[in-house]
Amino acid sequence: MNDWISVVVVFLLLWWWFFLMALPIGVRVVEEPEEGHAPSAPKRPHLWKKALGATIVALLATTLINYIIAADLFSFRDAIENW
């Protein structure tokens, strides 16, 4: 995966995937919400922590995927041809 566009696309897809998986972690709702606020709105969503965690995990996963493709440990072309 020497093409930088492919690396960026894989990273962005993984980042969103990990970020969306992290959103419900540690969410607490306000016991008595103010008028006009949704009762299910989180008290402190900690979005920066979740974005940072998603970035770190996505970087590691992108590096692993890049290594697997560069080392030719798995090839989709071979898998399709042998199917």
**CB distance 41 to 6 below 8 Å:** no
Q: Tell me the one-letter amino acid at 1.
A: M
pLDDT in tens, 3-27: 899 999 999 999 999 999 999 999 9
Give this prediction's pTM. 0.79
In sequence order, the β-bridge partners of residue 29 are 42
For position 39, what pLDDT does the model report? 87
Q: Based on the structure, what is the number of domains in the chain?
A: 1
pLDDT in tens, 23-78: 999 999 888 888 888 888 888 899 999 999 999 999 999 999 999 888 888 777 77
Structure tokens at 1: 């995966």
What Cα–Cα distance (Å) separates residue 81 from each residue in 38, 75, 76, 78? 53, 10, 9, 5
Structure tokens at 65: 């995927």
Report the C-alpha gap between 21 and 13 in whole angstroms.
12
77: containing domain: 4-82
